[in-house]
Amino acid sequence: MPKDVTDVICPFCGTLCDDLIVTVSDDNKTILGVKNACAIGAEKFNHQRLPGRVTRPRMRQADGTFKEVSYDEAIDWTAKMLVKSRKTLMYGWASTSCQAMSIGHEIAEKVGGIVDNCATVCHGSSLIAIEDVGVPSCTLGEVKNRADRVIFWGCNPAHAHPRHMSRYSIFPRGFFTVKGHKGRKIYCVDCRYTDTAKCADEFIQVQQGYDYELLNAFRTAARGEALPDTVGGVPKEKIIEIVEDLKQARFGIIFFGMGLTHSMGRNHNIDIAINLTRDMNDFTKFAIMAMRGHWNVTGSGQVLGWQYGFPYAVDLSRRDQARHQTGETTSVDLLNRSEVEACFYIATDPGAHFPVDAMISSSRKPTVTIDPHIQCTTEISDLHIPVAMVGVETGGCAYRMDNVPIETRKVVEPPEGMLTDEQLLTRINHRVDELLAKGGA
């Protein structure tokens, strides 16, 4: 008899929905169906039973093909690579558990690695802004129960975080928001008319690359100072009207995404949006939140932040100190400048997301990729070590985009004999210890 597992956490996007129902086969080995998840979330679970999954490590041979090797061989190869390399990029972490990250960081401290996560090509600029000016934020529960003015700036949850709007930001009825959608005024600021814009009461089309100027104009208007006739294509009357409406809010929230973090000025766009939020708190209660992408990229920032004081791009190569400099210790810069000697990728796919030059540089270095599936990066690696899918075949802690930790659940057994990230990293860590005790690789 197939059975239903309830309250399953979705390990796909930063919304980290916690109400999924997953039907599993009698023998606990196969997922038969997923309820409540959006299309992209359901697909993550469906991947579990796709035929052709790799279940043992694969090592690149001289002729370019892959040969299956044992976990022991793979662990030994990885540990030797890490011990030998003078500077290693250890990138990824966004799709694994916080427990696995902490073991990875222990290895990085010993081998002098540089630990970086997906924020480096995503919300890293938001993190820089937060380092510079702090952040007045809140939880998604507060948004659901209190927010009556919601601004989506340069983000498109309709596609990237499909259940965000129904669970938290537009439609739900909360304690002080009993009218649901009708009691909220939704703004969408974007350079394109997105599907999120279609759900908004008001769409403000900003000229591409003028977000900083427009946010500056909002702040200037809030202080009652004069404005030019238009800013970024938006008339000054509109800017003043919106600012006056925001001042009337009982609780306002700005959600922002790649439209701010990856357009001209990057961190400065977030910085000034945070400062607008601060200004609005002179009149009412206002908060701001990054729409974090990978389900546990926030967790990686939390664990790194707690251990070393920086949320990403943490350089431990000098071992007696942790350093962090976007532009220097960030993955793409390290690869483009060829500042590292080896690459260790886990729980992400830089091959699909990094600039081509960076990946060409990466492909020339010894590379290990730890990931449940075959993906772009595994194909340019010397060694691919498959592991169980975290949040599906093993549990572990993850942080939602609002920095709330949620323990994910195991719903099915991983394939016979397959290691989890935690088990694999623990064994690599031991092998590194052995090699260091012997005096090197």
Measured from the CB atom, the residue of 40 and 258 that comes closer to ligand SF4 is: 40
- Give CA–CA dist 68/81, Å, rounded: 19
- Inter-helix orientation angle 267-280/211-222, to 10°: 20
**Is the CB of residue 306 less than 8 Å from the CB of residue 101?**
no
Owner of token pair 């793979």: 74
- Give CA–CA dist 302/305, Å, rounded: 5
In this structure, the chain runs to a length of 441
C-alpha separations of 298 from 26, 74, 128, 271, 399 in Å:
35, 29, 14, 19, 6
Measured from the CB atom, the residue of 38 and 419 that comes closer to ligand SF4 is: 38
Q: Which does 240 bind (CB under 5 to 8 A by kind): other proteins, ligand SF4, none?
A: none
Our finding on whether 238 is near other proteins (CB under 8 A) is no
Q: Which does 364 bind (CB under 5 to 8 A by kind): other proteins, ligand SF4, none?
A: none
Measured from the CB atom, the residue of 63 and 225 that comes closer to other proteins is: 225
Our finding on whether 268 is near other proteins (CB under 8 A) is yes
> What is the rounded (10 degree) CA torsion for 433, 439, 440, 441?
-90
Measured from the CB atom, the residue of 113 and 162 that comes closer to ligand SF4 is: 162
Measured from the CB atom, the residue of 225 and 416 that comes closer to other proteins is: 225
Residues 149-168 that bind other proteins (CB under 8 A): none
**Among 99, 137, 275, 394, contact with other proteins (rule: CB under 8 A):** 275
Binding mask 301-340 toward other proteins (x if CB under 8 A, else -) reads: ----------------xxx----xxxxx--------xxxx
Q: Which does 410 bind (CB under 5 to 8 A by kind): other proteins, ligand SF4, none?
A: none
Q: Which does 226 bind (CB under 5 to 8 A by kind): ligand SF4, other proteins, none?
A: other proteins
Q: Which does 143 bind (CB under 5 to 8 A by kind): ligand SF4, other proteins, none?
A: none
Distance of CA 237 to the CA centre of its chain: 37
Q: Which does 192 bind (CB under 5 to 8 A by kind): other proteins, ligand SF4, none?
A: none
C-alpha separations of 175 from 145, 146, 168, 179, 180 in Å:
5, 7, 12, 10, 10
- Inter-helix orientation angle 71-84/98-111, to 10°: 50
Site of interaction with ligand SF4 (CB under 6 A): 10, 12-13, 15-17, 37-38, 40-41, 161-163
Residues 102-131 that bind other proteins (CB under 8 A): 111-112, 128, 131
Measured from the CB atom, the residue of 41 and 395 that comes closer to ligand SF4 is: 41
Q: Which does 15 bind (CB under 5 to 8 A by kind): other proteins, ligand SF4, none?
A: ligand SF4
CA dihedral sign of residues 166, 170, 171, 176: positive
Per rule CB under 8 A, count of chain residues that contact other proteins: 41
> What is the token pair recorded at 239?
């800017």
Our finding on whether 182 is near other proteins (CB under 8 A) is no
Owner of token pair 């010397």: 382
Burial of 51 (0-12, 13-18, 19+ CB in 10 A): exposed
Nearest Cα residue to 421 out of 67, 111, 103: 103
SS3 at position 138: coil
Q: Which does 433 bind (CB under 5 to 8 A by kind): other proteins, ligand SF4, none?
A: none
CB of 212 to other proteins, least distance (A): 6
Q: Which positions touch other proteins (CB under 8 A)?
A: 85-87, 111-112, 128, 131-132, 212-213, 216-220, 222-223, 225-228, 231, 264-265, 268, 271-272, 275, 317-319, 324-328, 337-341
